C-alpha cells in the first residue's frame, strides 16, 4: 500500500486564493439575499381585489380563497392552513346619521352570540388608526369553531377574532380578522399587511 | 394524483340504490316538551332530508303540536354510524305543514345547544323527490326509517307496490296512497320509501289514535314525566302507531317543498278559509260502491256486485264532524278473513268537515269473494257494507254518469257539469241501461242535506239510451249551496251525484269569482285601493291577489291554488266562510327576503272546476337555478394520511373544482369551486355534493386540489365518474411533507 503525504512549508494564502475566498463569501451572501427575496416574494405575494361599486380595493395574500357571494363585500381564507382557516373579511352595513360605532359593535356582538359557540368579547375596545388616518374602533373576541359536517369527528378550535369598524360615507365598514388563537400573533402580521393596502 | 388514489373499499351493491346516501339523509325526529330544565320526548318519527340546507320531510301528526303530540321543540338526530342509534344534532322548526295529508316540512334552525344555524353553512346529504305518478304496480321499493324509540340504528325494509288508493283530492297529484306489502313498523312513520333510482316516492304514514278520543292508543311510557320517580302508566307515553301499509306519495310533498325552499307564505287577509270546526262525533254513513268516478269525484253509478277480473272499486260514503286531526281507517275482509291488501291503516283525515268522500282501489285485480268494508273514525267503527266480486255481468237496470247543466233551446245541457249558476232551474242528464218501460223510478233532490224535491214516475224511455234529463225548478230561485241528486229504481239507489249552485249566470256558466288581479302595497289596507299590476320588479316582498265573489253559500268548498313557474306551492280546499257576495277578497303572498323572480299564478276552483286564473311576473319571470338541487351521482369521501406516519391529517382542505375549470385555470375563487371539504380529526373528509356521471353523450371531468400547510400539494385534472364507479367512492390520499 502506498501513502502520499503532502505538506506545505508556507501556510499563508496567495492573493488569488484570498480573493477566491472573498468571492465565495460574497456569492453565498448574494444567494442568501436572493433566497430571502424569493421566499418573501412567495410568502408575501398578493392578489389585488377591487370593488368599484362599494369603493373598496385591497391586496390579499396570493392563493387565499376569495368569496364574494356572502353577506359581505369579500372574504379571503387561507385554505392551505391546517385546522381553522385564517380569514379576513370586509363587509359594509347601511347606517343612519344616528348610528354610532358602538351601535354596530353591539349589533355584531348580539348576532354572533347567537350563532357562535362560547362567544366572548375580550375586554377593552381600542381606537385603531387605519393607514389613511381614519380612526376606527377595534373589538376583540373569541369563540369556538367546529366543522359543520355532522358526520365527521371534529374537535372545536378556539378562534380569536378582531373587528375593525369605522363609519365612512354613510356606511359602516367592518373589517374582520379570524384565526386560530394559538397562531394569532404570527398571523396578525398578515392582517397588518392587508390593512396597509386597504383603501376605501 | 390518480396514482396516489387507491379505492380502499368497494361496496358490493346488490342494486343501483344508493343506500348509504339514503341512510345518511334519513333522520330521527323527537318532538319534546320543556318541563323545567328537561326536555321530555312526546312523539317520535323518522324524516328525510330534502335539501342540503336542512329541509326535512316527515309526518305532521308527530311534529305539529296537537292533543296527541303536545311538545313544542323538535330535535333532529342523525345517523353518524349506520350500525348505531341516531345522535341528536340539531333543533328544527316547522316550515310548512298540511295536517290533513299528514305531511310537514321542518327546517333545521339551531344547533342542539340552541345556537342559530346559518342554512348556507349546512351541507347535508339529501334525496330527490320522484314523480310518484310514475310508480308501477309490483315495483320494488325500499323503506328507510328508525324502527324503535331511538334505541336501534336505521332500518330498511323491502317490498313491492301492491296497489293504489284514490281519494277525492287534486287529481293532478295521482293516487292519494300507495300500498305496499313491506312490513313497516308504525314508528317508522315519516321515513322514506325509495325506488331503484334512489328517489323518494312516498312517505310511510300512520297516525296514532288519540286515547282521549276513545280509541286504543299504541303508546310506550319511557320517561318519568310526572316526576314521581316511577315510570308507569301515569306517565305521558310516546305513541308508536300500528303497522303501516299506507304510503303517502311524494307528489303531495311537492307544494310544501316548493313553498318552504322559496320561503313563500300565503295568507288570506279577508276572513275566510276558517279552520274546520266540528262539534259532534265523527261519523260515516251511506256507504255504497261504484266502479268508477268522474273528474268531479262523483260515482259513475251505484253497484252492489262486480264481475270477476274487476280491477277498480270505489267505496263512497258521507262524513260528518270530521277534522284534520281525525284518524280514520278502513278494514276490509274477504270471506271473513282480514285483507290487508285492500285495507287502509289509520291515517289522518284530509277532507272537510262534512260531505261525500271515497276510497278507491285501482291498479290490481280484485279476487272473487264476499268483501266487507268497515270504516273507523278515531277507532270507532261505523256500519259496514258488503260487496260480492265474481258474479256474472249484471243485467240489472243501471243509471250512470250524471252531469248537471242548464238546458239550451234544443234541450241539451250546457255548462261545466258540476257547478251551476244561481237561477230557477237545474237539470241533470244521465245514461240508462237494461231498463224496462213501466218500472218505477224516483228522483230526489237535496240542498245541504235536506230533501227539497221528490218525484216518482213510471219509466217510459226504453231499454237503453245515452241520456235522459231531469230537472228541478223553483220559481223563487234555487239558493246557492251544495245540492245532491239521487236516482232510485224500485227503491234502490242506482246513481247519485253532488253539484254546487253558486255565482251569477252568464250563459250557462257561473260567474262566482271575478276581477282576479294582482297588486303590491305596504299594507293590506293599501292593497285594496292599489292598481292592478301584472309585472313586478325583482325583490318585491309582498304580492296581493284580489278577487270579487258572487252568491257563494257558506260551507261551499272552494280551492285556492298558487303556482310559481307552473309548479304548485299552495293548494287548500276549505269551506267558504264569508258573506255570499262581496268584493276585494285579499290573498297575501309574501317572502321574508323578497319574492324570488318567477311567474306566479293563482287558480280558483269549486268542485275541481277551474273558474278563474290569473298570472303575474316578478323580476325576470323565472326562478333562479338551484345548482345544489341534484342528489344523484357519486359521493366522494376518504382519508388524507401522512405518507411518513400513515396517520390521518386533520384540517386539510380538499377542493373539487367545477367541471368548467382545470387546475391551471383555478384562480382560488369560490365561484370556481364545485364543492370542498375539510378533514376531521381522523383525516376523514366528505364531499357532500355528489359528482355527476360521465355518460356516452356527456363528459364531466372535475379537477381537484389537496392543500395543507407543511405538505406538498396534490392536484389532478380529468376526474370522471361513471355509473360503474363505486358509490360512495372512498379514497385514501397520502401527503408528503414539504
Three-state SS string across B62-73, please?
CCCCCCCCCCCE
**From B651, B686, B709, residue closest to A149, measured CB to CB:** B686
Tell me how far apart the alpha carbons of residues B174 and B167 are, in angstroms, rounded to a whole number.
9
Angle value at C-alpha B694, between B690 and B698, nearest 5 degrees: 125
Nearest CA in chain B to A113: B115
Q: If you average pLDDT over residues B523-531, what whole number do you get?
A: 90
Q: To probe the interface with B, which of A116, A151, A156, A186 has the most B CB atoms within 10 Å?
A: A151
**What mean pLDDT do residues B499-522 have?**
91
Chain A residues in contact with B651 by the CB 8 A cut-off are 81-84
CB B293 within 8 A of CB B312: no
pLDDT tier at B228, thresholds 50, 70, 90: confident
Does the CA dihedral B636-B638-B644-B649 come out positive or negative?
positive
Mean pLDDT of B210-229: 67
Higher pLDDT, B3 or B267: B267
What pLDDT band is residue B395 in, cutting at 50, 70 and 90? confident
How much is the ipTM here?
A: 0.82
Q: Does B83 touch chain A (CB under 8 A)?
A: no
Highest mean pLDDT among B90-94, B147-151, B226-230: B90-94
Q: Phi and psi at residue B74, in whole multiples of 5°? A: -110, 125
Residue pLDDT, tens place only, B126-171 = 999 999 999 999 999 999 999 888 788 999 999 999 889 999 876 6
Query: Is residue B591 within 8 angstroms of chain A, CB to CB?
Result: no
- Spell B55-85 as b/e; 16+ CB within 10 A means b: bbbbbbbbbbebebbebebbbbbbbbeeeeb
Of B117, B677, B709, the CB nearest to A81: B709
CB atoms B678 and A147 under 8 Å? yes
Kindly report, residue by residue over B528-584, the tens digit of the pLDDT. 999 999 999 988 999 999 999 999 998 888 999 999 999 899 988 888 888 999 999
C-alpha cell at A162: 378582531
Q: What is the mean pLDDT of chain A?
A: 88
Residue A11, pLDDT > 70, answer no
Query: How distant, in Å, are the alpha carbons of B456, B498, B670 from that of B445?
Result: 12, 10, 69
Higher pLDDT, B272 or B552: B552
The pairing of beta strand B337-338 with beta strand B380-381: unpaired
Cβ contacts of A146 on chain B, cutoff 8 Å: none
Q: How far is A117 from chain B (nearest CA, A)?
A: 7
Looking at beta carbons, which residues of chain B come within 8 Å of A85? 653, 678
Half-sphere exposure in the Cβ direction for A93 (13 Å, CA): 17
Does B89 sit within 8 Å of A149, measured CB to CB? no
Cell 272546476, residue? B609
Whether residue A82 and residue B652 make contact (CB cut-off 8 A), yes or no, is yes
The structural domains of chain B, ordered by start, are: 2-11+633-735 (2.60.40.1120), 283-391 (2.60.40.10), 398-504 (2.60.40.1930), 512-618 (2.60.40.10)
Those of residues 638-667 in B touching chain A at CB distance below 8 A are 649-653, 655
* Cβ pair A152:B684 closer than 8 A: yes
List, for residues B680-731, the tens digit of each pLDDT value.
889 999 898 889 999 888 889 999 999 898 999 999 999 999 888 888 899 9
| Mean pLDDT of the B512-520 span | 94
Gap from A85 CA to chain B (nearest CA, Å)? 8
- Which residue on chain B is closest to A84 by alpha carbon? B651
Cβ contacts of B122 on chain A, cutoff 8 Å:
148
| Structural element, H or E, at residue A184 | helix A184-197
CB B685 within 8 A of CB B678: yes
Find the residue in A nearest to B676 (Cα): A79
Flag if B713 and A151 touch (Cβ within 8 Å).
no
By C-alpha distance, the chain B residue nearest A71 is: B120
How many Å lie between the alpha carbon of B89 and the closest alpha carbon of chain A? 7
Query: Which residue in the set B670, B681, B713 is minimally distant from A65, CB to CB?
Result: B670
Q: Which residues of A touch B671 (CB under 8 A)?
A: 68-69
Among the partner-chain residues A63, A79, A117, the one whose CB lies closest to the CB of B115 is: A117
User: Which of A66, A149, A154 has the CB atom closest to B670's CB atom?
Assistant: A66
| B709: chain A residues, CB-CB within 8 Å | 80-82
Q: Which of B720, B709, B714 is nearest to B732 (CA)?
A: B714
pLDDT digits (tens, 9 = 90+) for B451-488: 999 999 999 888 888 777 788 888 788 899 999 999 99
Interface contact B121, partner A, CB < 8 A: yes
**Distance from A3 to chain B by nearest Cα, in Å?**
46
Write the pLDDT tens digit of every residue in B421-458: 988 888 999 999 998 989 999 999 999 889 999 999 99
Alpha-carbon gap, residue B363 to B314, rounded angstroms = 12
The pLDDT score that the predictor gives to residue B696 is: 85
Cell numbers 334552525 label which residue? B109
- Flag if B671 and A69 touch (Cβ within 8 Å): yes
> Which of B:706-725 have CB within 8 Å of A?
707-710, 713
Do B115 and A116 lie within an 8 Å CB cutoff?
A: yes
Residue A23 C-alpha, separation from nearest chain B C-alpha, in angstroms: 32
Eight-state DSSP code of residue B272: -
Mean pLDDT of chain B: 88
Kindly report which listed range (B2-16, B141-155, B238-252, B345-359) carries the lowest average pLDDT score: B2-16
Nearest residue on chain B to A61, judged by CA atoms? B668
Predicted pLDDT at B94 = 95
Share of chain A above pLDDT 90, in %: 48
For every residue of B341-375, which 3-state class applies, written as one string?
CCCEEEEECCCCCCEEEEEEEECCCCCCEEEEEEE
Q: Which residues on chain B are in Cβ contact (under 8 Å) with A114?
A: 115-116
Mean pLDDT (whole number) for B302-314: 90
* Chain A residue closest in CA terms to B87: A150
Q: What's the gap in Å between the CA of A83 and the closest CA on chain B?
A: 4
Which residue, B514, B509, B545, is CA-closest to B528? B545
Tell if the CB–CB gap between B686 and A117 is shorter than 8 Å: no
Strand partners, B451: B446
For the cut 60, the answer to whether the pLDDT of residue B489 exceeds it is yes
Shortest distance, CA A80 to any CA of chain B (angstroms): 4
Hey, are the CB atoms on B117 and A115 less than 8 Å from each other? yes
Contacts of A118 in chain B (CB under 8 A): none
Contact B688 A115 (CB under 8 A): no
Average pLDDT over residues A121-145: 86
Q: What residue of B is the nearest CA neighbor of A116?
A: B115
CB contact under 8 A, A153 and B680: yes
Q: What's the pLDDT at B230?
A: 80
Query: Residue B485 contacts by C-beta under 8 Å, 6 or more apart in sequence?
Result: B402, B404, B428, B443, B444, B445, B446, B470, B496, B497, B498, B499
Q: Which residues pair with A74 in a beta bridge?
A: A90
B389-413 core/surface letters (b: 16 or more CB in 10 A; e: else): beeeeeeebbbbbbbbbbbeeeeeb
Q: Average pLDDT for residues A11-37, to the nearest whole number? A: 89
Per the CB < 8 Å rule, is A154 touching B123? no
**Helix boundaries (H) for B505-593:** 524-529
C-alpha of B642 from chain center:
49
Best CATH choice for the domain A48-197 from the list 3.40.91.50, 2.60.40.3500, 3.40.1000.10, 3.40.50.1860: 3.40.1000.10
Say yes or no: B468 contacts chain A, CB-CB below 8 A.
Answer: no
Instruction: Kindly state the average pLDDT of the residues B622-630.
Output: 75
Q: What is the pLDDT of residue B723?
A: 85
Taking the C-alpha atoms of residue B132 and residue B562, their distance in angstroms, rounded to an integer, is: 21
Are A150 and B118 an interchain contact pair (Cβ–Cβ within 8 Å)? no
Q: How far apart are CA B218 and CA B220, in angstroms?
A: 7
DSSP code of residue B60: S
Q: What percent of chain B has pLDDT over 70?
A: 94
Q: Cα dihedral sign for B55, B58, B60, B62? A: negative
| Domain residue spans of chain A | 13-43, 48-197
pLDDT in tens, B334-355: 999 999 888 998 888 888 888 8
CB pairs under 8 A between A and B: 84
Q: What is the mean pLDDT of residues A26-52?
A: 88
CA dist list (Å): B562 to B20, B118, B603, B605, B616:
36, 28, 7, 12, 11
Amino acid at each position: 500500500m502506498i501513502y502520499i503525504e503532502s505538506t506545505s512549508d508556507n501556510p499563508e494564502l496567495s492573493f488569488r486564493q484570498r480573493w477566491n475566498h472573498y468571492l465565495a463569501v460574497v456569492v453565498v451572501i448574494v444567494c442568501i439575499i436572493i433566497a430571502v427575496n424569493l421566499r418573501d416574494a412567495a410568502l408575501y405575494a398578493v392578489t389585488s381585489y377591487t370593488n368599484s361599486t362599494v369603493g373598496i380595493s385591497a391586496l390579499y395574500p396570493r392563493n387565499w380563497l376569495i368569496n364574494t357571494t356572502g353577506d359581505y363585500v369579500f372574504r379571503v381564507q387561507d385554505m392551505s392552513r391546517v385546522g381553522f382557516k385564517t380569514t379576513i373579511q370586509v363587509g359594509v352595513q347601511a347606517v343612519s346619521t344616528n348610528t354610532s360605532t358602538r351601535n354596530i359593535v353591539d349589533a355584531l356582538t348580539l348576532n354572533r352570540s347567537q350563532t357562535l359557540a362560547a362567544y366572548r368579547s375580550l375586554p377593552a375596545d381600542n381606537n385603531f388608526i387605519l393607514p389613511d388616518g381614519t380612526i376606527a374602533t377595534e373589538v376583540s373576541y373569541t369563540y369556538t369553531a367546529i366543522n359543520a359536517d355532522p358526520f365527521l369527528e371534529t374537535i372545536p378550535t378556539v378562534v380569536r377574532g378582531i373587528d375593525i369598524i369605522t363609519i365612512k360615507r354613510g356606511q359602516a365598514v367592518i373589517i374582520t380578522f379570524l384565526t386560530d388563537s394559538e397562531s394569532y400573533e404570527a398571523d396578525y402580521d398578515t392582517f397588518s399587511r392587508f390593512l396597509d393596502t386597504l383603501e376605501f | 394524483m390518480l396514482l396516489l388514489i387507491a379505492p380502499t373499499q368497494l361496496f358490493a351493491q346488490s342494486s343501483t340504490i344508493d343506500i348509504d346516501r339514503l341512510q345518511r339523509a334519513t333522520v330521527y325526529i323527537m318532538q319534546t316538551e320543556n318541563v323545567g330544565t328537561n326536555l321530555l320526548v312526546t312523539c317520535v318519527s323518522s324524516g328525510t332530508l330534502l335539501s342540503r340546507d336542512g329541509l326535512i320531510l316527515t309526518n305532521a301528526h308527530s311534529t305539529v303540536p296537537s292533543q296527541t303530540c303536545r311538545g313544542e321543540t323538535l330535535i333532529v338526530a342523525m345517523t353518524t354510524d349506520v350500525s348505531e342509534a341516531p345522535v341528536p344534532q340539531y333543533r328544527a322548526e316547522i316550515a310548512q305543514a298540511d295536517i290533513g295529508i299528514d305531511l310537514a316540512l321542518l327546517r333545521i334552525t339551531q344547533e342542539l345547544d340552541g345556537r342559530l344555524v346559518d342554512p348556507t353553512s349546512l351541507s347535508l346529504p339529501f334525496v330527490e323527490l320522484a314523480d310518484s305518478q310514475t310508480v308501477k304496480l309490483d315495483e320494488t321499493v325500499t323503506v328507510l326509517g328508525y324502527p324503535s324509540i331511538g334505541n336501534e340504528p336505521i332500518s330498511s325494509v323491502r317490498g313491492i307496490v301492491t296497489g293504489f288508493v284514490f281519494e277525492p283530492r287534486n287529481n293532478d297529484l295521482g293516487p292519494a296512497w300507495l300500498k305496499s306489502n313491506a312490513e313497516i313498523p308504525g314508528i317508522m312513520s315519516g321515513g322514506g320509501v325509495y325506488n331503484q333510482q334512489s328517489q323518494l316516492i312516498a312517505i310511510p304514514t300512520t297516525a296514532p289514535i288519540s286515547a282521549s278520543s276513545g280509541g286504543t292508543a299504541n303508546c310506550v311510557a319511557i320517561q318519568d314525566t310526572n316526576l314521581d320517580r316511577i315510570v308507569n302508566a301515569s306517565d305521558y307515553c310516546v305513541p308508536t302507531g300500528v303497522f303501516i301499509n299506507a304510503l303517502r306519495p311524494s307528489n303531495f310533498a311537492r307544494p310544501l317543498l316548493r313553498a318552504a325552499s322559496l320561503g313563500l307564505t300565503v295568507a288570506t287577509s279577508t276572513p275566510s278559509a276558517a279552520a274546520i270546526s266540528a262539534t259532534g262525533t265523527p261519523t260515516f254513513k251511506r256507504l255504497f260502491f261504484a266502479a268508477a268516478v268522474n273528474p268531479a269525484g262523483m260515482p259513475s253509478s251505484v253497484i252492489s256486485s262486480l264481475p270477476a277480473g274487476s280491477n277498480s272499486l270505489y267505496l263512497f260514503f258521507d262524513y260528518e264532524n270530521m277534522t284534520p286531526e281525525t284518524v280514520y281507517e278502513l278494514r276490509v275482509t274477504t270471506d271473513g278473513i282480514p285483507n290487508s291488501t285492500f285495507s287502509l291503516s289509520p291515517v289522518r283525515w284530509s277532507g272537510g268537515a262534512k260531505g261525500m268522500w271515497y276510497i278507491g282501489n285501482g291498479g290490481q285485480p280484485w279476487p272473487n269473494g264476499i268483501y266487507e268494508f268497515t270504516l273507523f273514525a278515531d277507532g270507532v267503527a261505523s256500519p259496514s257494507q258488503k260487496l260480492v266480486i265474481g258474479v256474472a255481468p249484471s243485467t240489472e237496470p243501471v243509471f250512470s254518469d250524471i252531469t248537471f247543466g242548464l238546458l239550451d233551446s234544443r234541450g241539451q245541457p250546457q255548462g261545466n257539469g258540476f257547478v251551476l249558476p244561481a237561477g230557477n232551474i237545474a237539470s241533470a242528464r244521465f245514461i240508462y241501461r237494461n231498463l224496462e218501460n213501466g218500472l218505477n223510478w224516483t228522483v230526489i233532490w237535496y240542498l245541504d242535506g235536506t230533501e227539497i224535491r221528490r218525484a216518482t214516475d213510471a219509466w217510459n224511455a226504453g231499454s237503453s239510451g245515452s241520456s235522459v234529463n231531469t230537472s228541478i225548478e223553483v220559481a223563487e230561485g234555487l239558493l246557492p249551496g251544495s245540492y245532491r241528486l239521487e236516482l232510485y229504481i224500485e227503491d234502490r239507489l242506482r246513481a247519485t251525484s253532488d253539484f254546487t249552485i253558486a255565482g251569477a249566470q252568464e250563459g250557462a256558466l257561473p260567474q262566482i269569482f271575478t276581477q282576479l288581479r294582482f297588486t303590491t302595497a305596504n299594507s293590506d289596507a293599501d292593497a285594496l285601493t292599489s292598481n292592478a299590476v301584472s309585472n313586478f320588479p325583482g325583490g318585491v316582498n309582498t304580492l296581493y291577489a284580489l278577487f270579487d265573489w258572487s252568491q257563494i253559500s257558506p260551507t261551499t268548498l272552494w280551492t285556492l291554488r298558487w303556482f310559481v313557474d307552473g309548479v304548485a306551492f299552495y293548494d287548500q280546499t276549505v269551506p267558504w266562510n264569508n258573506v255570499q257576495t262581496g268584493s276585494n277578497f285579499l290573498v297575501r303572498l309574501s317572502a321574508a327576503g323578497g319574492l324570488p323572480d318567477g311567474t306566479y299564478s293563482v287558480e280558483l276552483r269549486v268542485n275541481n272546476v277551474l273558474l278563474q286564473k290569473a298570472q303575474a311576473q316578478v323580476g325576470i319571470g323565472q326562478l333562479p337555478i338551484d345548482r345544489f338541487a341534484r342528489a344523484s351521482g357519486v359521493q366522494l369521501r376518504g382519508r388524507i394520511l401522512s405518507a411518513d406516519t400513515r396517520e390521518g391529517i386533520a384540517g386539510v382542505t380538499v377542493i373539487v373544482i367545477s367541471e368548467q375549470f382545470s387546475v391551471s385555470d383555478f384562480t382560488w375563487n369560490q365561484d370556481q369551486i364545485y364543492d370542498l371539504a375539510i378533514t376531521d380529526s381522523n383525516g376523514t373528509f366528505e364531499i357532500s355534493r355528489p359528482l355527476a356521471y360521465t355518460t356516452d353523450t356527456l363528459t364531466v371531468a372535475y379537477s381537484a386540489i389537496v392543500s395543507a400547510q407543511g405538505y406538498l400539494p396534490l392536484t389532478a385534472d380529468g376526474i370522471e365518474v361513471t355509473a360503474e364507479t363505486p358509490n360512495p367512492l372512498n379514497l385514501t390520499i397520502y401527503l408528503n411533507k414539504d
